[in-house]
Structure 1
Amino acid sequence: MHANQKGLTLVELIIVTVVASIVLSAAIPAFGRFVQENRITATTNQLVSHLQYARQEAVMRNANVAACPSTNGRRCTGGNRWDQGWIVYADPDNSRQPNRPEDVLRVFGADERVLMHSAGRFRVRFQGLGDAYGTNLTIRVCDVSNRASPRAVIVSNPGRVRATRTVDASECETD
């Protein structure tokens, strides 16, 4: 071998390939879980942000502002599946639907990688004083692949919106 030649031998190349494959086989599943955890956290934070925005708009307008599941970004579905998308809309006449296109204030599209549902309530409506009358609303945010820990967004009667990680995985089932 000449002194000025550089490179890897076949044995060295095989050893590097084996070591790299071992490291990657351990890292890839952990990275997938990391991505799913971040997706659940980001979706939860987006929902909290939109609900806080709805409350703020209700106070500023001194009129009802609501949020509900929506598949088309224009009307409420009447169901409890928030993963199909949701809207925030002005509802000054309590019609439980946006009356005009300009009443829709925020739209969030569907995400098939998460499962989001509320048990009994199909919308949250904030009044002009910032309260959300009715019963407490809990929206569960779950990973469809069950790799990430579920979260929940809770809206209390006084209108406080908060997120929690204390969710039992069995609460993610919709049936």
Structure 2
Amino acid sequence: MRTQKGFTLTELLMVVAIIGILATIGVPSFRSLILENRLTSTANNLLGVMQMARSEAAKLHSTITVCAASPDQSTCVNDANWSAGILITQGDDILRVVPLRSAGVTITSTRPRIDYRGDGKTTAASFTLNDSRGDDFERVIQVNAIGQACSGVSCS
């Protein structure tokens, strides 16, 4: 009597079919998870930039400007599209360059720049972050008149 080693062709085809079914179910969920993480990460970076700029304005008792960056990130642009990155400036001096290039995420604002005064106050603005999934998955960040930036349920 011989003992059989290995798999039969039928067993191998069944395993390949099961792997194919699991991949069909799992891959779209994984793609959605990646897109969600990109959008959340970009929103958190933008919130951090606003909070840092407000803090610097209060610390230095000076006006700190947060603006949309040019594609080479060397100057501010007068544009509502902030997807190329952000500059934090004090007068003509660039304090920080924040590249926000996250694949497929677009950032639009109601204002091309935000000026935080020495007391931390500013003019209200909002940012909308979108990706390829459309408006159902957008994130909105609001900056109120006293300079606080918030997103989602924390804005209530």
Q: TM-score when scaled to structure 1?
A: 0.80
Q: How much has 1:83 moved relative to structure 2?
A: 1.0
CA distance in 2 between counterparts of 1:110 and 1:156 reads: 25
CA distance in 2 between counterparts of 1:147 and 1:79 reads: 21
- The aligned residue for residue 30 of structure 1 is 29
User: What is the SS of the residue equivalent to 2:29?
Assistant: helix
Percent of pairs with identical residues = 26
- The aligned residue for residue 43 of structure 1 is 42
CA RMSD for the aligned pairs? 2.0
Q: How much has 1:112 moved relative to structure 2?
A: 4.5
- The aligned residue for residue 144 of structure 2 is 156
CA distance in 1 between counterparts of 2:152 and 2:23 reads: 33
User: How many residue pairs are counted as aligned between the two chains?
Assistant: 153
Q: How much has 1:64 moved relative to structure 2?
A: 0.7
- The aligned residue for residue 76 of structure 2 is 76
CA contact (8 A) 2:42 2:100 kept: no
Q: How much has 1:73 moved relative to structure 2?
A: 1.8
1:114 to 105, 113, 122: 105
Distance change >3 Å, CA 90–CA 2, structure 1 → 2: farther
Give 5+ residue unaligned stretches, structure 1: 92-98, 166-175
CA contact (8 A) 1:85 1:111 kept: no
CA contact (8 A) 1:140 1:153 kept: yes
